A and B are shown apart, each in its own frame.
Chain A
Amino acid sequence: MNHAEAEELLGAYALDALPEDEARRVEEHLRSCAEHRAMAAELRRTSGLLPLTVGEGDPSPELRARIVEAVKATPRELAPSPATEPARGVSPVPLRRIARMPSWASRASRLAVAAAIVIALGAGGLIGYQLGHATQTQVAYTFQGDATAAPGAEARMVYFKDRKQAVVAVNGLPHLGAGQVYEMWLIKNGVPVDKGISSNPSGDVGAQISGDLSQFQQFAITIEPGEQQLPTTKPILVGNLQSG
């Protein structure tokens, strides 16, 4: 899609009036065009005001009660998962050698990969990029948090095959306690490899991961008391990287 074509479509894009494939092509263009990203954002701000042109309505009095009931029946976000005694600061604690693979590895492989969901990435230029399928050069993944340890958490990863780099965005992880970090792992034949940490306390993580993902079977996140060589806790999120 060239510059002029994209510009013509920005209004329709801001109004959500493009069919799926055209919207994807506009988003593809926006990833590399700062000028149009700014224009699109301006147009979106305005279209976002259109609900206010309507004015308030008059719902039935029972609606409020129905919503309250429905919310009560809907699972809430859990409090942050309990941790081992956290270390002060972020300096690594002495390593614990794990003699054999933790039992969670096989449990992890039974978790299913969820349907594709988009998560905005705060850095790296992927905001608004709608992911849905693998192409020649990219593979997109979505993973859900563990139903008990991280309900509602979602991770979205795009792996760029030619660059052997992946970009990950995670939302909704349980919040970190003092001194804790989220640690990311790629798992190869049952062995987790440290792929970096994040200490953002709010439960959102944006990161780049280097590696040939075709060599790994799973991606996982644990909460650790500082960067570890091997995980010391059960993963709060696991996903399968290979189909089947």
Chain B
Amino acid sequence: MSGEPRDQDSQMAAQLKRGESTAIESLYDRYGRLAYGLAFRILNDRGAAEDVVQDAFVSVWRNAAGFDTGRGSLRNWLLSIVRNRAIDRLRGGARTRNELQLEAVEPTAEMPDVWQAVASDLERKQIQEGFRELPDAQRKTLELAYFGGYTHVEIASRMQVPLGTVKSRMRIGLEKMRTFLEARGVMA
């Protein structure tokens, strides 16, 4: 796991906090296709996906002063914003979450951010493999939740299973992925 991506991300974060708009261009060059891929996966509409990506980058720019580089990576933050805005657009709601908040999901600052270590294609392939390896029902549950923005109740209805089953599948699915990735050194 090279240190390079972390340094580049930290550099970009520092530039953004200083108000250097060229850092947004660097951020886009680095993560724009990933951001778009995520938005498109959720919305399945080119124009809508591009709108969401644009809004997300502008949000990163606007909120950069408050971004705490100690809490996590720029990429994680950007993609969280993309995901939430895409879901909002898809489901027609507005999640009342401050986008500065999206980064601060770890309760302790010393929890290492997984994304810093996840830079190369190989690691991404492993994550994709870990996801594919999940039992169909668990994977489908995670997809509906993460990319479809459905609540656990809605998923239970769609999949025609009890709510308790959905809750378990969510937790177990995530835990299985973590175990898979820990075994391969993708997650510590």
Closest residue of chain B to A72 (Cβ to Cβ) is B21
In order of increasing CB-CB distance, the 4 nearest A-B pairs are A11-B171, A11-B170, A57-B37, A120-B104
Could you list 28 A-B pairs, sorted by A, with CB under 8 Å?
A8-B164, A11-B168, A11-B171, A11-B173, A12-B152, A16-B87, A16-B149, A18-B152, A19-B151, A37-B107, A38-B107, A41-B111, A48-B115, A49-B181, A52-B34, A53-B127, A63-B32, A66-B54, A70-B58, A74-B58, A76-B19, A77-B64, A77-B65, A122-B109, A127-B104, A128-B104, A171-B100, A203-B66
- Is A67 a contact of B153 with CB atoms below 8 Å? no
| A: contact size bracket | 35 or more
B160 in the interface (beta carbon within 8 A): no
**How many residues in B have their beta carbons less than 8 Å from beta carbons of A?**
85
> What chain B residues lie within 8 Å of A52 (beta carbons)?
34, 118, 124, 127-128
> What chain A residues lie within 8 Å of B19 (beta carbons)?
76-77, 79
> What chain B residues lie within 8 Å of A153 (beta carbons)?
65
Closest residue of chain A to B22 (Cβ to Cβ) is A68
Output the least CB separation between A116 and chain B (Å): 7
- Is B153 a contact of A120 with CB atoms below 8 Å? no
- What 1/0 flags go to A115-130 for Cβ under 8 Å of B? 0111110100001101
- Is A71 a contact of B61 with CB atoms below 8 Å? yes
- Is B187 a contact of A67 with CB atoms below 8 Å? no
Q: Which of B106-162 contact A (CB under 8 A)?
A: 106-109, 111, 113-115, 118, 124, 127-128, 131, 142, 145-147, 149-153, 155
Output the least CB separation between A19 and chain B (Å): 5
CA gap between A53 and B173 in the complex, in Å: 14
A210 in the interface (beta carbon within 8 A): no
B85 in the interface (beta carbon within 8 A): no
- Is B66 a contact of A154 with CB atoms below 8 Å? yes
A1 in the interface (beta carbon within 8 A): no
> What chain A residues lie within 8 Å of B128 (beta carbons)?
52-53, 55
CA gap between A76 and B65 in the complex, in Å: 9
- Is B114 a contact of A50 with CB atoms below 8 Å? no
| 15 further A-B pairs in the complex, CB-CB below 8 A; given A17-B146, A64-B29 | A9-B152, A12-B152, A14-B174, A16-B84, A16-B87, A18-B152, A37-B107, A46-B187, A49-B187, A50-B142, A51-B83, A70-B58, A71-B21, A74-B61, A172-B66
- What 1/0 flags go to A156-178 for Cβ under 8 Å of B? 00000000000000011000000
Output the least CB separation between A6 and chain B (Å): 11
- What 1/0 flags go to B45-58 for Cβ under 8 Å of A? 01001100110011
> Which of B39, B98, B104, B175 sits near A43, CB closer than 8 Å?
B175
Output the least CB separation between B69 and chain A (Å): 10
- Is A118 a contact of B97 with CB atoms below 8 Å? yes
- Residues A76 and B21 in contact in the complex (CB < 8 Å), given A59-B32, A204-B66: yes
- Is A64 a contact of B66 with CB atoms below 8 Å? no
CA gap between A19 and B97 in the complex, in Å: 13
Output the least CB separation between B65 and chain A (Å): 4
CA gap between A79 and B18 in the complex, in Å: 8
CA gap between A43 and B167 in the complex, in Å: 13
> What chain B residues lie within 8 Å of A59 (beta carbons)?
32-33, 36, 46, 49-50, 53
> What chain A residues lie within 8 Å of B39 (beta carbons)?
57
CA gap between A151 and B37 in the complex, in Å: 32
CA gap between A128 and B54 in the complex, in Å: 26
- Is B54 a contact of A70 with CB atoms below 8 Å? yes
CA gap between A17 and B62 in the complex, in Å: 27
CA gap between A38 and B108 in the complex, in Å: 9
CA gap between A11 and B151 in the complex, in Å: 12
- Is B178 a contact of A119 with CB atoms below 8 Å? no
Output the least CB separation between A206 and chain B (Å): 11
CA gap between A46 and B76 in the complex, in Å: 12
A3 in the interface (beta carbon within 8 A): no
- Is A119 a contact of B25 with CB atoms below 8 Å? no
> Which of B65, B83, B178 sits near A42, CB closer than 8 Å?
B178
CA gap between A117 and B177 in the complex, in Å: 32
